[in-house]
Chains A and B, each alone.
Chain A
Amino acid sequence: MTDRLEAIGNDLERATGRSLRAHQRRRRRILTGAVSVALLVPGAAVAGSLLTTDDVERSMPAGTKFLVGTTPECETVKEGVEYHCTIHGDFTPEVADLKGTVEPSVDATSHVNGGCRSLRSDGREWRCYIGQEAVRQKIIGPDFLGEYSSGPGVG
């Protein structure tokens, strides 16, 4: 391996080590927070009371670069878990066929809160899942949920 590739590998190893340590700290904070909420609020009320369709609508462009500038409209399928979202107005994705494409969604605190799957080739209709349901739907991995996002992802 060349010195230059070796240097990139060292940089990558340092960065991924930092990323893991930060992730572990966040997990501890989230777990602590979840335990606190569970003690204070009856279980069934948690998801519904904390999430609105407005939150989901904002989460889509916050998580995906090519949706930036769109204003999705979402309807509740299952409170706090599943939402059906449509995009109206100007929207021309650079990918020709978006059907089946999955993208993460990001909440107001810049953390991955779930993910959406495109139901149509033109990307105007999406089914979004929040929290563990997005993991169960294989839209995001368990380690990605709760990750900090510095900006909308590219794909």
Chain B
Amino acid sequence: MIRSDAALISASRTDAGAFRELYDRYAERVLGYHRRRSGDEDAAHELTAETFAQAWLVRARFRDECDGTAGPWLFGIARNVLLHSVRRHALEQSARERLGMQIEPPPAVPEETWLDGLDEALDALPDTQREAIRLRIEDDLEYDEVAATLGTTPAAARVRVHRGLTALRTRLTKETR
């Protein structure tokens, strides 16, 4: 029986093999995401390794908001890794250092152009869904706080987040194929 991403992340609290399964499931797509933005094969691999190392360190924060898939969560981490790297003008490597993973010599200096189209998928969503996702996923607010900010009910806020994430998942799946 195939386990959902959420089940793998839950199992990874005590089983490194479960996280490896998640890696095998997403590594090529995350690599593709970084490759398209950096245009650099070496940098894309380094950023992919860092994305999964960070995902491991924050896996306890994962919440199943999208019917068991971890795609939006992983690509959110990939986005942050890319963003930090460009801001620091150096490839992010803190999570790999913390885990004692191998780090290759810096292959490239991140450039501002790597951020071109970074939020295209998010920007394509309706305003209400985009803002709900930002508040819930990026700001990590509870649904009642999201609802208060948006002037709606917690149930409506939950629906907006769910619909937005579903749309994002569909778009990201197409983009990374």
Binding site for B on A (CB under 8 A): 1, 4-5, 8-9, 11-13, 15-20, 94, 97, 99-102, 138, 140-144, 149-151, 153-155
Contact = CB atoms under 8 A, between A and B. Distances in A.
Main secondary structure of the interface of B (DSSP, over half): helix
A13 B97 CA distance: 15
A5 B31 contact: yes
Contacts of B87: 94
Interface in B97-129: 97-102
Q: What bracket does the count of chain B residues touching chain A fall in?
A: 35 or more
Contact of A16 (B27, B94, B97, B99): B99
Interface in B45-62: 45, 48-49, 52-53, 56, 58-61
Nearest to A135: B60
B135 A12 contact: no
Give the 8 A-B residue pairs with the shortest CB-CB distance, closest first. Answer: A141-B60, A100-B139, A15-B99, A16-B16, A17-B16, A13-B20, A143-B60, A100-B141
A154 B94 contact: yes
A4 B104 CA distance: 12
A13 B135 CA distance: 32
B69 interface: no
Nearest to A8: B49
The residue among A12, A140, A151 with the most chain B CB atoms within 10 A of its own CB is A12
B101 A11 contact: yes
Contacts of B20: 9, 12-13, 16
30 contacts: A1-B27, A1-B28, A5-B28, A8-B27, A8-B52, A9-B24, A9-B27, A11-B49, A11-B102, A12-B19, A12-B49, A12-B101, A13-B20, A15-B96, A15-B99, A16-B20, A16-B99, A18-B99, A19-B16, A20-B14, A100-B139, A101-B139, A140-B61, A141-B58, A141-B60, A141-B61, A144-B61, A150-B98, A153-B94, A154-B84
